[in-house]
Copies of this chain bind each other. A is one copy, B any other.
Amino acid sequence: MRITILIMRNLKLIISYDGTEFQGWQTQPGFRTVQETIQKHLEKITNQKITLYASGRTDTGVHAIAQVANFRVDSNLSESKILLGLNALLPDDISISEITEVPYDFHSVKDAKKKHYRYVIRQSGISDPLTRKFCHLVKQELDHKKMHKAAQQLIGTHDFRCFESEWPNRTNSIRTIYRTSINRMGPWIWFNIEGNGFLYNMVRAIAGTLIEIGRGHWPEDKILELIELKERKYAGPTAPAKGLFLVRVSYEDLTP
């Protein structure tokens, strides 16, 4: 008789990536994706089949400052060894800043309590070669104070299907937004938004709508009207992916 003990550990990764050259997070045969790129190298290091779950699937071209993902593995390699090995193998448009062991039932998608996205706009008549892959160039003047006020209407629990591409994608389009802000420094205007979750293309549709408000095409209270209307076609265009960053995913319980 032979007894084999499998010690399955659950490891959580914090991941940064430049989304420019990826077809988004999720594995798709024939495409370069973040998930497939990391999985492939994890399989090399651990010599096992790995499935990596991210807090959310970012789209083609979207960047991440701190995406969170987890995977289960039967390996006693230390976290720091995996971290070192992985960063050595990964291409330079992905890096892992942290690997920690988490409880076996932790799941980066289901347990995510809060996500923070940022959308970066450059308001200028002339594009900037040095930052062109990390912002959306808007040539018209934008009133960022008006955009900030409009963004406050997003706060609360609403049915956000007016900002969801290709609706109906999901059964439930109700989400809670905790905080939004628009700041400006010189040509840079950035939009921060935190919520318990986001629908497909929601942040980019909101950014596109706020730009329409900022350039005076729509009034400040347009957001409330759109939420009422519940149809994607009335909201602004989906702003380009390259301006969008997944900043942080929180897992702590939000009750005070």
Contact = CB atoms under 8 A, between A and B. Distances in A.
Contacts of A134: 130
Contacts of A63: 130
Interface stretch (A45-53, A87-95, A169-177, A208-216): A87-95
Interface in A107-139: 126-130, 132, 134
A95 B129 contact: yes
A79 B25 CA distance: 45
A160 interface: no
Contacts of A87: 126-127
A18 interface: yes
A96 interface: yes
A65 B130 contact: yes
A134 B131 CA distance: 10
A129 B96 contact: no
Interface string A67-95: 00000000000000000000100001111
Contacts of A130: 16, 18, 63, 65, 134
Given A92-B127, A95-B126, 20 more contacts: A16-B128, A16-B129, A16-B130, A18-B129, A18-B130, A63-B130, A65-B130, A87-B126, A87-B127, A92-B129, A92-B132, A93-B129, A93-B132, A94-B129, A95-B127, A95-B128, A95-B129, A96-B126, A97-B126, A130-B134
